[in-house]
Structure 1
Amino acid sequence: MNLKNPADRWGGVSQLLHWSIALLILTIGVVGLVMGELPRTPKYFWVYTAHKSLGITVLALVLLRIGWRLYAGAPRPLPGIPRWQAWLASATHGALYLLILAMPLSGWLYDSASGLRPFRWFGLVEVPRLAAPDEILASAAHDAHEWLFWLLVALVLAHAGAALHHHFIQRDATLARMLPRRLRAAPPREDSP
């Protein structure tokens, strides 16, 4: 497994960060959608704390991923990709990074401004407040958190759809470049059954 990003694909660290963040966001999203419906039992508070802890973890991982990308670079665009597609892919990646940063920050701000007692990241470390209790700020941060979530869902679906389009329709290596070697398969050929 190559750690740095070679010119033709994403390296092992980039792949690990990409798929770990994707899995965590999926988990947090599902939990976030159902946790409001949970009865107010001790499990309810455990689920909220887990949601917040995973969100802070994603924030740390995306900061690490941005730092790694600055250090390790990105693979060059595939030959034959139109300039507008390369630009759109770059803009989408930038927007994804911004949203993945904004989501946990808005949740953290909401939690802080709500006046709830500070939570402990996975029960280990107390997470400091970003703001003093403020009802208006809490409401705005909560609304932003929800809107950012749906915007992130739309952008992730577009991102995944584009990767699948490149793999199955364009039949290029766009998706394969983000997969570990053992999972890579050549795009299906037209003469395949």
Structure 2
Amino acid sequence: MGSPPLANTAERYGWIAILLHWGMAALLVGLVGLGIYMVRLPDVGYDREKITLILVHKALGMSALAAALARVAWRLTNALPRFVDGLPAWQQVSALFVHLWLYALMFALPLTGWLMSSAGGYPTPIFSWLDAPDLIGPDEHLFRTLIDVHRWLGYAFAALIALHAAAALRHHLVLKDHTLRKMLPGA
């Protein structure tokens, strides 16, 4: 397939889409893993490790939101490579459905996290020296509800990521088509 161009073509993804995809994949998998780890830490007093991890998770979540915005902007202004020849219509629809849900969750998770922090009366750091503005005022009941919503969206996101990765590996290892190679640099 050769080295990818800068922008997408009908045959493959370009360097910018590849960097956004794999950079966000690492960031999002890291965020899901960090989220699962940190909520399992005890809520005893002011646990320094847990508070630090929560602040890192929030800052990375806001970075993921910015990256998702960049990714959607790039996607809307670039060609989408076509599906491999012979891909059944149901698989094309399934791929589009999973991608739409991945994009929806790329926005829903950081937004529910931001709302949760606002409802809890906690800062949402973007960088160590800058906090995002509160979206809503403190509301303990809404804060507790958003904790559950954010958690379950995270589990759904983890499941969709696993499904997406499994489908890509199936195309690569079982079907031996170019689906995954279109998103690999130098493939």
The alignment's TM-score, normalised by the length of structure 2, stands at 0.92
Is 1:112 paired with 2:115? no
Give the match's secondary structure for 2:77: helix
CA contact (8 A) 2:113 2:150 kept: yes
Distance, in Å, in 1 between the alignment partners of 2:148 and 2:125 is: 23
Contact 2:168–2:179 (Cα < 8 Å) also in 1: yes
Match of 2:7 in 1: 4
2:125 & 2:28 partners in 1: Cα distance?
20
In structure 2, the residue matched to 1:176 is: 181
Whole-angstrom CA distance in 2 between matches of 1:72 and 1:84: 24
**Do the aligned residues in 1 keep the contact of 2:58 with 2:125 (CA within 8 Å)?**
no
* 4+ residue runs over 6 A deviation: none
Contact kept, 8 Å, 2:13 with 2:80, in 1: the verdict is yes
Identity of matched residues, %:
39
Structure 2 contact 114–124 (Cα < 8 Å) conserved: no
Instruction: Give 1:178 deviation, angstroms.
Output: 0.5
Q: Which amino acid aligns with 1:9?
A: R
1:129 matched to 2:134? The reply is yes
**CA deviation string 1:140-168 (max 9, x = no partner):** 21111001011111111111111011111
Letter in 2 for 1:27: G
Alignment RMSD, CA only? Answer: 1.4
Change in 2 beyond 3 A, CA 1:119/1:159: closer
Tell me by how many angstroms 1:42 deviates: 3.3
| Inter-partner Cα distance in structure 2 for 1:126 and 1:147 | 25
Alignment counterpart, residue 103 of structure 1, candidates 74, 85, 109: 109
Give matches, 1:30-109, under 5 Å: 30-36=33-39, 37=41, 40-109=46-115
Q: Distance in 1 between matches of 2:102 and 2:125?
A: 27
Distance 1:146 1:120 in 2: 19
Cα distance in 2 for residues equivalent to 1:8 and 1:150? 33
| Structure 2 residues without counterparts, runs of 5 or longer | none
Structure with more relative contact order (C-alpha pairs < 8 Å, separation 6 or more):
2
> What is the CA distance between 1:87 and its match in structure 2?
1.3
Q: TM-score, normalised by structure 1?
A: 0.89
SS at match of 1:72: coil
CA contact (8 A) 1:49 1:122 kept: no
> Counterpart in 2 of 1:25?
28
Q: CA deviation at 1:97?
A: 0.2
